[in-house]
Structure 1
Amino acid sequence: MNTSVATVCLSGGLVEKLHACAVAGFDGVEIMDADLVAAPESPEEIRALCDRLGLRIEMFQPFRDAEGVDDTTFADNLRRASAKFDVMERLGTDLMLLCSNAGTATTGDEDVLVRQLGAFADLAAERGIRVAYEALAWGRHVDDYRDAWRLVERADRPNLGICLDSFHILSRGHDPADIERIPGEKILFLQLADAPALDMDVLQWSRHHRLFPGEGDFDLTGFLGHVLRAGYTGPLSLEVFNDTFRQTDVVRTAAHARRSLTWLADRTAAANGWSEPRIPAPKEARGVDFVEVAGSDLHEIDQLLGQLGFAFRGLHQSKPVRLWSAGTARIILNEQVRAAAPRLSALGLTVDDARSAAARASALGADPVFRRTYRGEVELRAVASPDGTEVYWNDRDPEESWIREFSGGEARAAFAGTIDHVNVSYPWQEFDEAVLFMSSVVGLGAEPPADVPGPRGLVRSQVMRSRDGVVRLPMNLAPPTAPVPHRHIAVRVDDAIAVARGAQERGLRFLPIPANYYDDVQARFALDDDVLGALKELGLLYDRDGDGEFIHFYTPTFGGLFLEIVERRGGYDGYGAPNAPVRLSAQRQVA
């Protein structure tokens, strides 16, 4: 699989972009005309740099508004094209992207379009240049790839073919199945982009909201399958216009982009029964092995866990690390870091084959994690997610493996719990990358996103989960000007009221909930007076739907972290979303 990326996808100057593409492992690039125009380096210097970096310049793009015009205008367009052909020769590339006319076209007469496309291709042929004609979704007369192919076929020039762009095809709802009617050798280039399903002007949708494969709602697996079955043998190239990606770190974004292509190629091969690329299949998480909290002083978290009723399992035999547990809910406190504020630092998952899970992560470009392990200690395989949070895989019984490295504690907790979900949050520029990481590397599926009102605007919530719901990662994105929401660990119990009473007796004070909340709960659900009284007395929150009930409460926040105790009754499968604004407001009041 040869891979490519358009320089328009990345931030910075052209030289920075090229270096980042090489570091990420791309085979080639599409040079954007605007990037070259703004670069202080000459085309010859850019060509030499690409040679040194091992990057092939796959295509120069775009040339706009050429066809469908009067003869005088077309003659001037050929003059413009000739000048750009000069630049291409200096760059050392022989493929130009020609977009369908979206601005100056005055006629949609096919005879005129065919004649002018042929003349354009003939001029390019004199210079040994091929032309890939692309139907823009907002083209004035040509906005469908099938129309573009019909014009190319009629023009009948050996150096003229088409460029297929997933956004231009799928955003308009065009059926990609007809791609298989096009001879593979006439598909000169393929550009890939995902996007969220939005109801808006297609040009603005394209310019600002494209995403890398795996982050949006397009069926790119099906789309790519059609292209490859048609016989296309060129590179898989990304062309993603996105305001976020053009502001974020160029090296990190390039790595993110490269991962998305590997994921897409792997998904497409698996869907079609092809043998390439050979990446280990995703290993579905069977459960949460542990959650780790890191900080230089975590004694407040020790006190919190003890008051909740967790059992202290002891100290690690060789590291300043402590273990607390309640049933299979295991929380590790790691004081091997300098940062004082507690933070969620790692997530451990149980899988059937940890070696294979780690191999897949490596194939997708995830950075491996090294932790010093002494003789007799279990070495868990791990990688770092884009924000640095580490993901570990374990295929052994923890009680018979790594838990034996802790001693000096007790095994009996006040209750038996499990990790219900781990709520993580991201700044605006990291959110899409995190979603792709969790889906491609960790193998979690994405539920439809939801918006939760908060004191600083709407918080977008995207839940990533295993198919059976045993592993759940609600991911929160705050408004751009708001602080990043706190992360938290939710522990599921059989009786949240009993756990709350015990914790209160041990001195724990929960997040204060206003009396107005309980008036609203009673108005909505007409609860029994004893149940409502218990909720008010203990500061618990309540939700109900057609499948069941949900009772939960929150601890105080330490640094950027807090805990939640949850009880699910019946088939309730949500997260108490109606209560989130109350929680966010209460946390803001006590901050």
Structure 2
Amino acid sequence: MRTSVATVCLSGGLVEKLHACASAGFDGVEIMDADLVGAYESPEEIRTLCERLGLTIDMFQPFRDVEGVDEQTFTDNLRRADAKFDVMERLGTDLMLLCSNAGTATIDDDDLAAEQLGRLADLAAARGIRIAYEALAWGRYVDDYRRAWRIVEKADRPNLGVCLDSFHILSRGHDPAAIETIPGEKIFFLQLADAPALDMDVLQWSRHHRLFPGEGDFDLTGFLGHVLRAGYTGPLSLEVFNDTFRQTAVFRTAAHARRSLTWLADRTEDAGRAPHAERLIAPQHAHGIDFVEVSGDDLHDLDQLLDRLGFAFRGRHRSKPVRLWTAGSARIILNEQLRLESPRLTAFGLIVDDAAAASERAAALGADPVYRRTYRGEVELRAVASPDGTEVYWNDDDPDASWVPEFEGGDTDAAFHGDVDHINVSYAWQDFDEAVLFMRSVVALDAEPVAEVPGPRGLVRSQVMRSPDRVVRLPMNLAPPTAPVPHRHVAVRVDDVVAVARAAREKGLDFLPVPDNYYDDLQARFALDAALLETLQGLDLLYDRDEHGEFIHFYTPTFGGVFLELVERRGEYDGYGAPNAPVRLSAQRQVSTWTDAKGPGAEGSSS
């Protein structure tokens, strides 16, 4: 599988972009005209650099607004094209991307378009240059790849073919099946981009919201299958216009982009459509949460919190400043060796069938391995770092028989049996899309549809990643760019959350306070039994219900950037209490305001 990427996908200058592409393992690049125009290096110097880096220049792009014009305008277009052919010869590339006319076309006539493209192709042929014609989704007259192909057929030049772009085809809702009617040798180039399902102007959608494969809602596996069955043998190339990627670190974004193509090619081969793709080890689907880890410089407040909730203190690690608390299969590690100033959720472990296979697949996808010092007799768990540094561990053994005995001096008697229901993680705006791809490709979780939750500082975007059996659930939150990154939390599922709440209250634990207005609204929505409503309000419990069951939960105070949630699912309720999220976000912000007003040392730390 040959891979390529358009330089427009990345931040920085052209030379820096080329170094990043080579470092990420791409075979080639599409040189964006604007990147070359803004570079101080000559086309010859760029050509030499690519040769030294082992990169082919697969295409020069874009050339615009050629066909469907009057003769005088077209004559000037040929002059423009001839000048760009000079540049291409200096670069050492023989393929130009020609976009369908979106600005100057005045004549809607396929015969004229074919005649003009044929004349352009003849001019290019004298230079040994090929033209790949692409139907822009916002083209003035040609906005459908099927029409673009008909025009290319009419023109009938050996050096004139089509460029297929997944965004331009799928954003318009065009059926990609007809791609298989195009001869493979006439598909000169393939550009790939994913995107979220949005209802907006297609040009703005394209310019600002394209994503790398695996991060959006397009069926790129099916799309790529059609292209390959048509006989296409060229590179798989990425063309992603995205405000985030053009601002983030170029080497990291290039590696992120390369991972997306590896994942897509592997999925396409799984569907029997890409026999030339490099194979990955089959994904290891997690069937349990091994542990969740919170790190910080001083975590004694969290020790007290877990004790009041009813967790059992299982002891201190025999060789590290790390403590373990458990309740059933819910295992929470408090790690003070990282010496973080503020507590935060830094790692979680997954139980899989083959940890070595999970680690090998992660390495093939470019994930960075994590090293932690272990001593003789201690279990060394395999791990990688996610884009923001959160560590993901794999274990294929029983935790109570493998690493848990390394903790000494505690007991096993928790006040209740619990399981980790979900781990709610949050990301800064520049990390979110990359994290979605990481969790989908490396951790082998499936993505549920995106939801938006109103908060006191704007809409919070939420996307749940989960294992196929829904045992592992990972809600991922993204706050507005100007808002702080949302706190992370661990949700522990229990059989009787009211009993757990009462016992914790008796031990002196205060929960996140819920306003009385919430309970007035709750009664209006659900007409709850008076006794149940009184219980909920008295304990600061939140409630939700749907046609499948009920959900009762409460939140602890926030410590640094982390808090806990205790939940009870009744019946077949499968959600996360989404209607209650705005109340929680508002309450946490209010408590933070109170705490800041009290000054350092106030209860609950900085929530």
TM-score bracket, shorter-length normalisation: over 0.9
CA distance in 2, matches of 1:95, 1:166: 19
Q: Counterparts of 1:531 and 1:67 in 2: how far apart (Å)?
A: 71
Distance 2:70 2:272 in 1: 47
1:378 aligns with 2:374: no
- Does 1:262 find its partner at 2:262? yes
After superposing the two structures, state which structure 1 stretch, 325-334 or 197-206, moved more: 197-206
- Structure 1 distance, partners of 2:155, 2:552, is 68
Please state how far the C-alpha of 1:393 moved relative to its aligned partner. Answer: 0.6
TM-superposition CA deviations, 1:70-99 (whole Å, max 9, x none) = 111111111111110111111111110011
One-letter identity of the residue aligned with 2:389: G
The amino acid of 1:494's aligned partner reads: D
Tell me the CA shift for residue 382 of structure 1.
0.7
- Which residue of 1 is the match for residue 9 of structure 2? 9
1:522 equivalent to 2:523? Answer yes
CA distance in structure 1 between the partners assigned to 2:561 and 2:517 by the alignment: 27
Does structure 1 conserve the Cα–Cα contact (< 8 Å) formed by 2:229 and 2:273? no
The yes-or-no answer on 1:218 pairing with 2:218 is: yes
Change beyond 3 A, Cα 1:34–1:274:
closer
| Count of residues paired in the alignment | 591
Scaled by the length of structure 2, the TM-score of the pair is 0.96
Shift of 1:102: 1.0
1:354 is displaced (CA, Å) by 0.8
Per the alignment, residue 136 of structure 1 pairs with 136
Question: Residues of 2 paired with 1:317 and 1:274: CA distance?
Answer: 50
Per the alignment, residue 151 of structure 1 pairs with 151
Q: Which residue of 1 aligns with 2:472?
A: 471
Alpha-carbon distance between aligned partners in 2 of 1:540 and 1:199, rounded to the nearest angstrom: 37
Deviation of the 1:273 alpha carbon: 6.3
Provide the residue aligned with 2:341 in structure 1.
340
- Contact 2:228 / 2:273 at 8 angstroms: preserved in 1? no
Q: C-alpha deviations, 1:89-138, integer Å up to 9, x for none?
A: 11111110011111111212222111111111111111111111111111
Residue 444 to residue 406, structure 1, CA distance change in 2 (3 Å): same
Q: Distance in 1 between matches of 2:146 and 2:543?
A: 55
Q: Is the 8 A contact 2:495 2:568 kept in 1?
A: yes
Alignment of 1:447-526 (within 5 A): 447-526=448-527
Does the alignment pair 1:64 with 2:64?
yes
Letter in 1 for 2:126: E
TM-score (norm 1): 0.98
Percent identity (aligned):
80
Q: Distance in 2 between matches of 1:337 and 1:363?
A: 28
C-alpha separation in 2, matches of 1:522 and 1:199: 35
The residue that corresponds to 1:411 in the other structure is: 412
**Corresponding residue for 2:236?**
236
- Residue 37 of structure 2 aligns to a residue whose secondary structure is helix
Number of the residue aligned with 2:361: 360
Q: Give the secondary-structure state (helix, strand or coil) at the position aligned to 1:74.
A: helix
Residue 94 (structure 1) aligned with residue 94 (structure 2): yes
Deviations 1:509-544 (A, max 9, x none): 111111111122122222222222221221111111
Q: Output the CA distance in 2 between the equivalents of 1:156 and 1:408.
A: 81
Q: CA-atom RMSD, angstroms?
A: 1.1
Contact 2:29 2:59 in 1 (8 A): yes
1:53 is matched with: 53
**Counterparts of 1:202 and 1:253, CA distance in 2:** 24
Please state how far the C-alpha of 1:10 moved relative to its aligned partner.
0.9
- 3-state SS, counterpart of residue 242 of structure 2: coil
Counterpart in the other structure of 2:603: none
Offset of residue 274 of structure 1: 5.2
Structure 2 matches for 1:184-199, cutoff 5 A? Answer: 184-199=184-199
Q: Give every structure 1 segment of 4 or more consecutive aligned residues whose post-TM-superposition deviation is greater than 6 Å.
A: none
Q: Structure 2: 5+ residue runs without aligned partners?
A: 593-607
| Alpha-carbon separation, structure 1, partners of 2:536 and 2:278 | 55
Q: Determine the C-alpha separation between the residues in 2 that align with 1:407 and 1:273.
A: 53
Per the TM alignment, residue 340 of structure 1 is displaced from its structure 2 partner at its CA by 2.0
SS in 1 for 2:404: helix
Deviations along 1:135-164, one digit per CA (max 9) or x if unpaired, are 111112211111111221222211111111
2:111–2:154 contact (8 Å) kept in structure 1: no
Q: Tell me whether 1:166 sits opposite 2:148 in the alignment.
A: no
Distance (Å, rounded) in 1 between the aligned partners of 2:452 and 2:335: 33
What is the CA–CA distance in structure 1 between the aligned matches of 2:360 and 2:338, rounded to whole Å? 27
Deviations 1:395-421 (A, max 9, x none): 101111111111110011010000000
